[in-house]
Chain A
Amino acid sequence: MEGIYLDNNATTRVDPAVVEAMLPYFTEQFGNPSSLHSFGNKVGLAVKKARMQVQELLGAEHESEIIFTSCGTESDSTAILSALKANPERREIITTVLEHPAILSLYSQLEKEGYTAHYLKVDGKGRVDMDEYKRLLSDKVAVVSVMWANNETGSFFPVLEMAELANAAGVMFHTDAVQAVGKVPIDLKNSKIDMLSLSGHKLHAPKGIGVLYLKRGVRFRPLLRGGHQERGRRAGTENTASIVALGKACEMALAAMEHENTEVRRLRDKLEAGILAKVPHAFVTGDASNRLPNTSNIAFEYIEGEAILLLLNKFGIAASSGSACTSGSLEPSHVMRAMGIPYTAAHGTTRFSLSRYTTEEEIDRVIQVVPEIVAQLRKLSPYWGENGPSAEPEKDFAPVYA
């Protein structure tokens, strides 16, 4: 069975054209791009081409602003730690409560090392309070890191505006744009964003390749020192095959940008409307009017996400959940908790994330299957009565927690 893959915010399939582009770099084009001879030289040119392809997708002014790394997390760590090393007298750092663990875990470690971290709170739709942000910006702050789009809800933060404010206050600004790159147009040369992270496998390139965008002139201290690769800003022999693949994937993402924001968005909206029309006591989480075109996160009240995923999987449908049990850590989604989503709903949040490969038939099938699964699980739920939630769900079932 082929399966219906609606978990593209987790990872994407590598486009066949991308695979084709990268394969020669395992075999005949095996040279080290740093070498002077023709084995290396050709590979060096291919890396340069890839850099320009990434530059174009990001709207960066110079190709030298693109630094290849091994993943989004490496880009994030490099950016934050560089800002701290470059500004040793600044001991405060700012981010939001909705960030990916790649930022939150790093910030919490930095707190242990003596930094003061400010986590911008959000409202019920996941929006930050810009006044709070403005108050926090000062010459004590080394760096601000705010994600472009949230991985769970797809909602955007106003990163362009926040970068302007940081810039005006003389503070470095980094954005984790892992979910946004390739799905929405980006024009870094006309922004005040100093650093941006992206990850190849979210846009149909392979896993194990990422990019840190570093605006020309922004003070930088490398995480990995060694050879002169990436102009000495990220030492280590280049992952040439994956760099070539990422270049190709960026070129294709740019070409598909229109499709992503029309057709993929149409299918996402159809899926969402179709499910909500048939399933009572379900709602969209996040800022529905301001989010990625491919992401829909629906909270199904009174049931639990892992159970939903296991049943969906039985029908060959792949999705993802913010429930405690699916994260591998038992931590319930910090995103849902931060937005104040009630317990009985946060547990059942299910994320459907589409791609340019998603078809109408697949969406129709999911719209058909999801209501059955939800009904089946609600029959097992102590919060659920015969045909709807029990009269007063929170009162009728009030377990003793241990």
Chain B
Amino acid sequence: MWDYSDKVKEHFFQPRNAGPLADANAVGDVGSISCGDALRLMLKVDPETETIEEAHFQTFGCGSAIASSSALTEIVKGMKLDDALKVSNQDIADYLDGLPPEKMHCSVMGREALQAAIANYRGEEWSDDHEEGALICKCFAIDAVLIEDTVRANNLSTMEDVINYTKAGGGCASCHEGIEEILAKVLAERGETFKAVPVKLDKEAPKPGKLTNLERIRRIEAVLESVRPQLQRDHGDIELVDVDGKTVYVSMTGACAGCQMEALTLQGIQTKLMEELGELIKLVPTRAGSLARATSQP
């Protein structure tokens, strides 16, 4: 059985705000392909202030799906819509004192329901922004699609590359067979053969502040590389402009520039950067003016 936190169990056994909401004016219906769970989020939004007054849910799903839905309704109640859009799946998981890696997609489903409900309120069309594959790395919750896309986009050829670019395989190492199969497949596509090279696994996680400038920039670039396939799928891209202390300047190009999801995308990347570098990072998009300022830095 899963190792659920007490908070997850509590929200499962006594779900908050469960059941239909009669006068809802924002409804989001989404499901997760990876497990078949689905959720309807119903919000009552005050049109004057764009504040969420009531939030209810109905969920067809497992214990953590029900708990994530319950947590989501508690988090967003009283929020302005624009603030609610910033709620990440990590926020939902954190609210529940964490979820098992296999169950993180339950919190993703919650975030998507929220985005779908707000889009519904605003009369917009919502479509999902990611594709989920079979979970390969259980230590860092990384799926096959992400690994395959990253290997392809960056011409990776070794296990160590995959670990550096995606983190997948960097923990207990028991998923290496699965990763090697992906490598072999993609390498075969480009007419190469996969050769196993011994991998040195870090005994310890990187200590914050101990990285050299070069290492920091390499890691930042690796994170950007790892998200690039997703952005490119949406016909956008991201470039590293400069790194100044804790501030990382990037330029969003193509469809990403000015996209209404830009803030959310950047926030996701910022979280990834912080995880990877083990320090606080501020990710700043550069526009025409700020770009000049950023590039004029020494």
Contacts and interface: CB of A to CB of B under 8 A. Distances in A.
Interface string A364-402: 000000000000000111111000000000000111111
B29 A307 contact: no
Contact of B31 (A303, A314, A379, A400): A400
Interface stretch (A65-73, A223-231, A324-332): A324-332
Given A302-B60, A304-B65, A400 B126 contact: yes
Contact of B63 (A307, A328, A379, A384): A307
Contacts of B132: 402
A330 B34 contact: yes
Contacts of A36: none
B40 A307 contact: no
Interface string B114-137: 001000000000111011100100
A398 B40 CA distance: 10
A378 B98 CA distance: 26
A402 B62 contact: no
B12 interface: yes
A398 B61 CA distance: 15
A304 B9 CA distance: 16
B295 to A, nearest CB: 37
B102 interface: yes
Interface stretch (B13-21, B167-175, B221-229, B266-274): B13-21
A174 interface: no
Nearest to A313: B1
Contacts of A311: 13
Nearest to B9: A310
B112 interface: yes
A306 interface: yes
A343 interface: yes
Contacts of B66: 307, 380
Nearest to A311: B13
Contact of A330 (B30, B35, B39, B130): B35
A382 B62 contact: no
Contacts of A379: 18-19
A368 B131 CA distance: 43
A299 to B, nearest CB: 14
Contacts of A397: 29, 38, 40, 60
Interface string A276-308: 000000000000000000000000001111110
Interface residues of B, number: 42
B12 A310 contact: yes
Nearest to A306: B62
Interface string B256-286: 0000000000000000000000000000000
Interface residues of A, number: 33
A207 interface: no
B33 A382 contact: no
B107 interface: no
B135 A344 contact: no
B58 interface: yes
Contacts of A383: 60
A265 interface: no
B37 interface: yes
A382 B18 contact: no
Contacts of B36: 324, 332, 343, 347
Contact of B116 (A305, A329, A400): A400
Contact of B32 (A329, A344, A402): A402
Contact of B30 (A302, A329, A402): A402
Contacts of B12: 307, 310
A382 B19 CA distance: 8
B60 A382 contact: yes
Contact of B29 (A310, A330, A380, A400): A400
B59 interface: yes
Nearest to A303: B60
17 contacts: A307-B62, A307-B66, A309-B1, A323-B62, A324-B37, A324-B62, A325-B65, A330-B34, A330-B102, A332-B36, A380-B18, A399-B31, A399-B40, A400-B29, A401-B31, A402-B108, A402-B109
Given A383-B60, A400-B127, 8 more contacts: A303-B60, A307-B12, A329-B102, A330-B35, A379-B19, A382-B38, A399-B29, A400-B116
Interface of B: 1-2, 9, 12-13, 15, 18-19, 29-40, 58-66, 102-103, 108-109, 112, 116, 126-128, 130-132, 135
